[in-house]
């Protein structure tokens, strides 16, 4: 079995979750000759692609624009793959305009310094809302909507996330090595005397056993191990509307605009669809569940867990979220936000947030045989071409030096209200999903 000091190649690996973290890990295992005799199973509660997983959507921003230099460097490596041999048909290099009008300007400044250090030369500093409006082709530009300062990095872009996930699944299938199982994992297979995990029990009571279990269940990970004070699931609103071919042509090649202060962003339209979303503090959905690490079924914990269109096919996002997205669109492209053209589809997409925005990629400190790969914190997708290789490095005890502190299991659990975040989140704080539904006169 694996340990962080000496590494024995496991004879079987079970990956829970076929999102970006899980699927990329399965791909890395298939490509690495060390694992040629290892059996690989991936289990997901949904058939692929998992429509309420955070890795499956019309678009995700691909950027090296980070305030933290290690992520800027890793994203640069990933982006070179997007440009060349990793699903390049799903990657669009239209640029990213990163802006702010409040304290989030610090993140923008640090990010600018990092991309300048990397040596990117397609950068223009923008000193006013008017400059931002010019670069992004906005119909209107006001400080509080599009930000008052920022920069455009024309080397950034976005990818069709669902298309890229399907592309990667095809690549994995070509190896004919991975057994994909569609079933919800009910509980990990703990041995509380030996403190080991040896696979998972599915909802029908059957078991999937493995030497090494990699938990990559995204925002649902907190239902399978106790992540209180380490990860929390936050719901982010996403709104879509159809637009005409002429409207699309006018802005499709413009940069993504992301204003960190109001947390709202617009990804250029594609295939007749425009998307507005919020990269904010999100909604919490406190849910009381049996303690995932307890033998006593009466012992419970309360954690925020995803509530999605799979949980509730009639789910409509809270009115405040729809209003915020519409107000943003109205402030930057008024002609697209007229009352006769409402958003036709909405979604709550769930981040797996950590206290500082770092991923959690590490062995579980207590249970031998359990490795955790989660904590995407709203920015994990762009690493799809490389995150599986990074996860394997960590599995083998070779965590890259610059991520050792960032990706490890924290020494202590910190109350969520004290989390500092990574400085990239603005917008409303402390929203509870059920309360917002109630305010919207919707039912939870
Ligand atoms: C609205 C939104 C916008 C984002 N924008 C960006 C962006 O622009 N750029 C960027 O880089 N990143 C972005 N992200 C973040 C990025 O999408 C995530 O970090 C990344 O997709 C996380 O991947 P994952 O594999 O951890 O989770 P997921 O993709 O959610 O995968 C987890 C999988 O586990 C499965 N699962 C859960 N529980 C169980 C169970 N009990 N049994 C079996 N299977 C289970 C789920 O069905 C799911 O398929 C965004 C995220 C959201 C929500």
- The pLDDT tens digits for 101-130 are 999 999 999 999 999 999 877 999 999 999
Residues 6 or more apart whose CB falls under 8 angstroms from that of 236 comprise: 277, 278, 279, 280, 282, 283, 348, 349, 350, 351, 378
Atom of ligand 1 nearest to the CA of 383: 11
Mutate to test the pocket of ligand 1, among 376, 387, 407 (most ligand atoms within 8 A of CB): 376
* Interval between CA 237 and ligand 1 midpoint (Å): 14
Do 259 and 105 contact (CB within 8 A), yes or no? no
| pLDDT-based confidence at residue 142 (cuts at 50, 70, 90) | confident
Residue 274 burial class via C-beta count within 10 angstroms: exposed 0-12, middle 13-18, buried 19 and up: buried
Give the mean pLDDT of 61-73: 97
340: burial class by Cβ within 10 Å (0-12, 13-18, 19+)? exposed
List pLDDT tens digits, range 296-353. Answer: 989 999 999 999 999 899 999 999 999 999 999 999 999 999 999 999 999 999 999 9
Residue 55 has pLDDT above 60, yes or no: yes
Residue 436 belongs to a domain: no
pLDDT score of 4 more than 50: no
Q: What is the dihedral of CA 187, 291, 25, 175, to 10 degrees?
A: 10
- pLDDT tens by residue, 238-255: 999 999 999 999 999 999
Ligand 1 first shell, C-beta below 6 A: 16-22, 43-46, 50, 53-55, 60-61, 184-185, 216-220, 236, 238, 277, 349-352, 374, 376, 378-382
pLDDT at 81 over 60: yes
Cβ atoms within 10 Å, residue 364: 18
> Considering the domain boundaries, does residue 99 fall inside one?
yes
Q: Does residue 2 surpass a pLDDT of 80?
A: no
DSSP per-residue letters across 301-312: EEEE----TTT-
Name the band, by pLDDT with cuts 50, 70 and 90, for residue 442: low
What does the alpha-carbon distance between residue 433 and residue 444 come to, in Å, rounded to a whole number?
A: 9
- How many angstroms separate the CA atoms of 109 and 117, rounded? 12
Contact 98, 65 (CB under 8 A): yes
Within-domain flag for 426: no
Model pLDDT, residue 443: 45
Q: What is the mean pLDDT of residues 167-187?
A: 98
DSSP 366-384: S-BTEEEEE--TT--GGGT
Report the C-alpha gap between 187 and 367 in whole angstroms.
14
Tens digit of each residue's pLDDT (9 = 90 or more) over 17-45: 999 999 999 999 999 999 999 999 999 99
Q: How many structural domains comprise the chain?
A: 1
Residue 438: how many CB atoms within 10 A of its CB?
13
Residue with tokens 């624009």: 65
The answer to whether residue 102 is domain-embedded is: yes
For residues 410-433, average pLDDT: 95
CATH number for the domain harbouring residue 348? 3.50.50.60
Q: Does 352 map to a domain? A: yes
Residue nearest to atom 37 of ligand 1 (CA): 217
| 433 falls within a domain | no
Instruction: Tell me whether residue 432 is in a domain.
Output: no
| Residue 97 belongs to domain spanning | 12-418
Atom number in ligand 1 closest to CA 53: 30
Q: Is residue 282 part of a domain?
A: yes
């Amino acid at each position: 079995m694996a340990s962080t000091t000496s590494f024995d190649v496991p004879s079987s690996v079970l990956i829970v979750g076929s999102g970006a973290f899980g699927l990329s890990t399965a791909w890395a295992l298939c490509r690495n000759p060390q694992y040629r005799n290892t059996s690989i199973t991936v289990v997901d509660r949904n058939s692929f692609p998992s429509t309420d997983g955070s890795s499956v959507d019309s678009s995700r921003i691909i950027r090296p624009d980070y305030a933290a230099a290690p992520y800027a460097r890793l994203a640069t490596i990933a982006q070179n793959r997007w440009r060349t041999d990793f699903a390049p048909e799903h990657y669009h290099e239209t640029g990213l305009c990163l802006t702010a009008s409040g304290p989030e300007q610090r993140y923008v400044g640090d990010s600018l310094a990092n991309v300048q250090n990397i040596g990117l030369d397609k950068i223009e500093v923008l000193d006013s809302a008017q400059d931002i409006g010019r670069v992004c082709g906005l119909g209107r530009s006001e400080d509080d909507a599009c930000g008052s300062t920022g920069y455009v990095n024309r080397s950034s872009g976005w990818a069709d996330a669902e298309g890229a996930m399907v592309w990667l699944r095809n690549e994995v299938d070509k190896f004919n090595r991975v057994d994909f199982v569609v079933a919800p994992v009910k509980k990990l297979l703990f041995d509380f005397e030996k403190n080991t995990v040896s696979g998972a029990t599915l909802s029908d009571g059957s078991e999937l056993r493995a030497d090494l279990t990699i938990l990559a269940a995204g925002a649902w990970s907190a239902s399978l191990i106790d992540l209180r004070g380490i990860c929390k699931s936050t719901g982010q609103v996403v709104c879509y509307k159809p637009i005409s071919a002429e409207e699309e042509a006018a802005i499709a090649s413009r940069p993504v605009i992301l204003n960190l202060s109001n947390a709202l962003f617009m990804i250029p339209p594609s295939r007749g669809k425009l998307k507005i979303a919020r990269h904010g503090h999100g909604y919490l959905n406190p849910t009381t569940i049996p303690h995932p690490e307890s033998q006593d079924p009466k012992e419970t914990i309360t954690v925020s867990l995803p509530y999605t269109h799979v949980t509730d096919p009639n789910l409509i996002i809270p009115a405040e979220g729809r209003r915020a997205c519409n107000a943003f669109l109205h402030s930057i492209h008024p002609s697209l936000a007229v009352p006769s053209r409402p958003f036709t589809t909405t979604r709550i997409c769930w981040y797996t947030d950590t206290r500082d925005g770092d991923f959690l990629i590490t062995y579980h400190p207590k249970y031998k045989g359990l490795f955790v790969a989660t904590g995407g914190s709203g920015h994990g997708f762009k690493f799809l071409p490389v995150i599986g290789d990074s996860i394997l490095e960590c599995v083998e005890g070779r965590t890259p030096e610059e991520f050792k502190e960032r990706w490890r299991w924290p020494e202590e659990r910190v109350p969520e209200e004290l989390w500092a975040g990574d400085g990239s989140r603005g917008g409303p704080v402390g929203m509870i999903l059920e309360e917002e539904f109630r305010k919207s006169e919707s039912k939870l």
